[in-house]
């Protein structure tokens, strides 16, 4: 008899593979536990019920020889424990008034979302940080794409010492952000820093980069581009070296201009990788906090939404308000990513 076609047990048959009964029992016990036990105890009861339901599914699958499903189970279990569960937990938290350094918790519905969107102080700070983040996304990604692209064009050609220069150029990407941040702090320092020293010897005036918003933003964008342009370069370089040589040779025979050669031969080969670099860097830039913390502490109006979130959730212990902001951010990122994928797909289909 085919194992997959084994008859399902009756709903109230107590056998280990009766997953329907396990789900019902698990739900019932969990609801009772949440309603009657203190949070610290009910947490473990619900956890045990989840394990029981999981076990019933596994035994059932084993009995029916669903080996494919069984093989991916560990991966799914890890994903659930490490990703999905915390996500759901924090989503739940965003509907409560909860501070991690206080013992009380209270259901407030959508109040946290209303607060972060409409409160005259909180919403203004969030909005401001979000606008700054948008600005950093545009500036840092643009700088990295341009610099990375130009570097890749340079390294695609053979020239003396290319190998060693390439290692040098790739170094910033491998440095810890903290090391890079401290390095740039000194680089920009008006007393000890080389930047002010050089500017002063040229203009004769005292030069302070970080004392205005434009200067502070430029400082952060430069440091970020310095670190991450090599990443864009690596991806673009991979595209450039994959262009078949004979296409260029044919173009040379046809005396095609360099500009045309680039647009009709090179660009189609690297476009996919450029898009990938753009996607990665945009997502990363959205999370920019480390360099801001190290260089300005959010001063000179350089507060980003990630740093703002760190302050609210980790330093001020307003866990549920932080969760609400995170979910709004997640929503924005998902919308933007889908928009991007939609446009990218339509383009490639158009061609």
Partner 1 sequence: MTAMTNARGLVTAASLAATLLVGGTTTFAVAEEVVLTMAVPDWPPTRIMKKFFDEQYKPASGNIVKLDVDFIPWPDFYTRVNASLTSGEQKYNFIVSDSQWLGAFVEGGYFRKINDLLEADPAFMATFNEIHPNPKNAYSTYPHKSENYYGFPQFPDVLVNFGRSDVLCHADEQANFLAKYGNKLPCTGEELDAMTWDDFRNVGEFFRRAKGEMLAGAPAEDDFYGIAYQAGKGYDFSSMQINGFIWQMGGEIWDETQIPTGQAEGVVNSAEAVAGLEKYLSMLEFMPPLAKTGTMDIFKSDELFREGKVAMNINWIGLGEASLDPNSSKVSDKLVFGQMPGTMVDGEMKRWSNIGGQPFVLTTWTTDAQIKEAVEFVKWWLSPDIQRLFAAGGGQSAIKSVYEDPAYITYRPWNRAWAPQLDWQKDVWHVPQFFELLTQQQDQFDLAITGKQDAKTTLDNVAKFQQDLLTEAGLIQ
Q: List residues near partner 1 by CB under 8 A.
A: 100-103, 121, 185, 189-192, 196, 206, 208, 210-211, 216, 295-301, 311, 314-318
Minimum CB separation of residue 212 from partner 1 in Å reads 8
Least Å distance, CB 338 to partner 1, is 34
- Composition of the chain by helix, strand, coil, percent to 5: 75, 0, 20
Nearer to partner 1, 2 or 206 (CB): 206
211: its two tokens: 């004392």
Q: Are 102 and 316 in contact (CB under 8 A)?
A: no
Residue closer to partner 1 by CB (options 134, 190) is: 190
Quote the least distance from Cβ 129 to partner 1, whole Å.
12
- Could you tell me where the beta strands, DSSP code E, fall in the chain? 96-98, 105-107
| H or E element, residue 314 | none
Beta carbon nearer to partner 1, 5 or 39: 39
Return the residue matching tokens 């010492």: 161
Helix (H) or strand (E) holding 315: none
Rg from Cα positions in the chain: 28
CB of 137 to partner 1, least distance (A): 23
Nearest distance, CB of residue 202 and partner 1, angstroms: 15
Please count the helices (runs of H) and the strands (runs of E) in the chain.
Answer: 16, 2
Whichever of 260 and 297 has its CB closer to partner 1, that residue is 297
Confirm if 326 and 309 have CB atoms less than 8 A apart.
yes
Cβ at position 214, least distance to partner 1 in Å: 13
Is the Cβ–Cβ distance between 274 and 236 less than 8 Å? yes
| Nearer residue to partner 1 within complex by CB, 158 or 191 | 191
Q: How far apart are CA 140 and CA 223, in angstroms?
A: 9
Nearer to partner 1, 73 or 99 (CB): 99
**How near is the Cβ of 310 to partner 1 at its closest, in Å?**
9
Tell me whether residue 193 or residue 239 sits nearer to partner 1 (CB atom).
193
The Cα angle at residue 332 between residues 293 and 90, in degrees rounded to 5: 75
Q: Least CB distance from residue 178 to partner 1, whole Å?
A: 10
- In three-state secondary structure terms, 27 is helix
| Non-local CB neighbours of 258 within 8 Å, separated by 6+ positions | none
- Residue number, 297 or 347, with CB nearest to partner 1: 297
Backbone angles phi, psi at 81, to 5 degrees: -70, -45
């Amino acid at each position: 008899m085919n194992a997959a076609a084994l008859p399902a047990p009756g709903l109230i048959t107590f056998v280990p593979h009766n997953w329907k009964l396990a789900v019902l029992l698990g739900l019932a016990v969990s609801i009772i536990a949440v309603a009657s036990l203190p949070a610290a105890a009910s947490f473990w009861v619900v956890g045990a019920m989840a394990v029981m339901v999981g076990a019933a599914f596994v035994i059932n699958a084993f009995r029916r020889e669903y080996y494919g499903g069984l093989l991916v189970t560990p991966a799914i279990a890890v994903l659930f424990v490490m990703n999905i569960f915390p996500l759901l937990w924090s989503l739940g938290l965003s509907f409560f008034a909860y501070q991690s350094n206080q013992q009380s918790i209270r259901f407030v519905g959508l109040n946290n979302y209303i607060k972060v969107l409409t409160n005259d102080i909180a919403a203004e700070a969030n909005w401001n940080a979000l606008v700054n983040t948008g600005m950093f996304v545009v500036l840092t990604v643009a700088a990295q794409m341009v610099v990375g692209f130009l570097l890749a064009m340079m390294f695609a050609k053979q020239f003396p010492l290319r190998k060693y220069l390439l290692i040098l150029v790739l170094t910033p990407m491998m440095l810890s952000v903290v090391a890079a941040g401290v390095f740039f702090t000194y680089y920009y320092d008006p007393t000890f820093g080389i930047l002010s020293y050089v500017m002063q010897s040229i203009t004769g005036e005292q030069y302070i980069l970080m004392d205005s918003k434009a200067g502070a933003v430029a400082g952060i964008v430069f440091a970020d581009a310095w670190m991450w342009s090599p990443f864009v370069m690596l991806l673009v370089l991979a595209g450039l070296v994959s262009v078949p040589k004979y296409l260029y040779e044919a173009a040379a025979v046809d005396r095609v201009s360099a500009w045309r050669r680039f647009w009709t031969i090179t660009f189609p080969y690297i476009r996919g990788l450029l898009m990938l670099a753009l996607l990665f860097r945009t997502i990363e830039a959205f999370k920019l906090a480390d360099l801001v913390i190290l260089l300005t502490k959010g001063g000179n109006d350089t507060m980003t939404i990630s740093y703002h979130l760190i302050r609210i959730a980790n330093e001020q212990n307003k866990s549920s308000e932080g969760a609400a902001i995170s979910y709004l951010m997640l929503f924005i990122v998902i919308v933007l990513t889908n928009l991007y994928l939609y446009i990218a797909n339509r383009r490639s289909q158009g061609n």
